[in-house]
Amino acid sequence: MTLSAEFSPAWASPPGETVREMAQKKGLTQANVASAIGVSEHDLSRMLDGELPITEARAERLSAYIGASPKFWLTREAQYRSALQAIQDDSRMWVSSLPFADMAKFGWLEAASTPAEKLRHAFDFFDVSSVDEWRDAWLSERAGLTAYRTSPVFGMQAAAAAAWLRQGELAAAHMQSEPWSREHFERLLPDLKSLTRVERPSDFIPQLQQKCARCGVAVVLIRAPKGCPASGATRVRNGQAILQLSARYLRDDSFWFTFFHEAAHLILHEDRLFLEWSEDQQLDQREEIEANEFAERFLIPPSQEAALRSLPHEYKSIMRFARNLSISPGIVVGQLQHRGLVPREKLNFLKKRYTWE
């Protein structure tokens, strides 16, 4: 049997796989092969599994007893070790790109002290068995992250963003909700405006989650780990919509605008993932403009635009205007600032500031 020495495995397949195949074709038992190359059956098993290397002496004996040239076996061994090293290097680089310290600190996975433990915990967290499987799940065309994967920003922060999104999916999986209904969610939104006037997140977040769950929307607040500048994300998975917020902006105007911006994506663009960057990275310009306009019109209806623009920039007028629209005064201030009607540094005392609990 003649085999070419030009063998280049696409993955780390040990030479022992080829030994097994050729021995089976010749009708040789493992005991026969072990005796012929001068090793115990235990060591032969280790060699077949890639734990024990094929030396020059073993390559000579394999060539004489099984076939192929000694050069083939030594080349096969060298390519396997090179591929194995590449996989190990790739795994180490992937683990080092994860915000592992924050993931452990936030309780997403167990803390680990060795690279091997970190790799195992990371695979368990993402429910994958290899880095290639992780890439296929999170960075492939079918994963829905194409626009972000090709962005220079996402290229540097892919692992951190994927970890944040994964934790959002795990949190959403533990939340009971009705099947996702875009129509029901759109009808619900006006009822949510009054929650913007509730001062404490510990009071309004449970209400927000309960109301949205009835429409099939899991609202999850997940702290962004180091390296992940995401402020929000939406997607539909297995009949459940996920509206994920990082609460990066701990002010009522930015928090609620982000929420209704994300709600707009579910209503207008429910077919794929949308991931918002806190650095105003407009990766999906048309859809982002549509979501921004939806949130602006929802919070300040077009019928009230003239009244907003003529509103006196003083406490009582803003409080009255906000009460009439059932929104917080901070949102009114934020919209005044956004339109350039009020300087960014003015009237900020009317915005409520949240703390992460």
pLDDT at 279: 52
Q: How far apart are CA 222 and CA 232, in angstroms?
A: 9
Q: Which of 4, 82, 3, 91 is nearest to 50 (CA)?
A: 82
Q: How far apart are CA 207 and CA 263, in angstroms?
A: 16
Q: Which of 293, 294, 305, 303 is nearest to 332 (CA)?
A: 305
Alpha-helix residue ranges (DSSP H) falling in 146-304: 146-149, 152-173, 182-192, 201-213, 252-268, 285-299
Q: How many CA atoms lie within 13 A of 238 on its CB side?
A: 6
Q: Where are the domains of the chain?
A: 15-95, 301-357
Question: Model-level pTM?
Answer: 0.78
Inter-residue contact 352 to 250 (CB < 8 Å): no
CB atoms within 10 A of CB 46: 15
Walk along the chain (357 residues) and give the pLDDT tens digit of each residue.
Answer: 333 333 333 356 888 888 889 988 888 888 988 888 888 989 888 988 888 898 999 999 988 988 889 899 998 888 888 888 888 888 888 888 899 999 999 999 999 888 889 999 999 999 998 888 898 888 776 665 555 544 555 555 788 889 999 999 999 999 999 999 999 999 999 999 999 999 999 999 999 999 999 999 999 999 999 988 888 999 998 899 999 999 777 899 999 999 999 999 999 987 778 887 755 454 557 888 999 999 999 999 999 999 999 999 999 999 999 999 999 999 999 999 999 999 999 999 999 998 876
* CATH architecture, domain defined by 15-95: Orthogonal Bundle (1.10)
Q: Which two tokens stand for residue 293?
A: 């306009």
Q: How far apart are CA 245 and CA 354, in angstroms?
A: 14
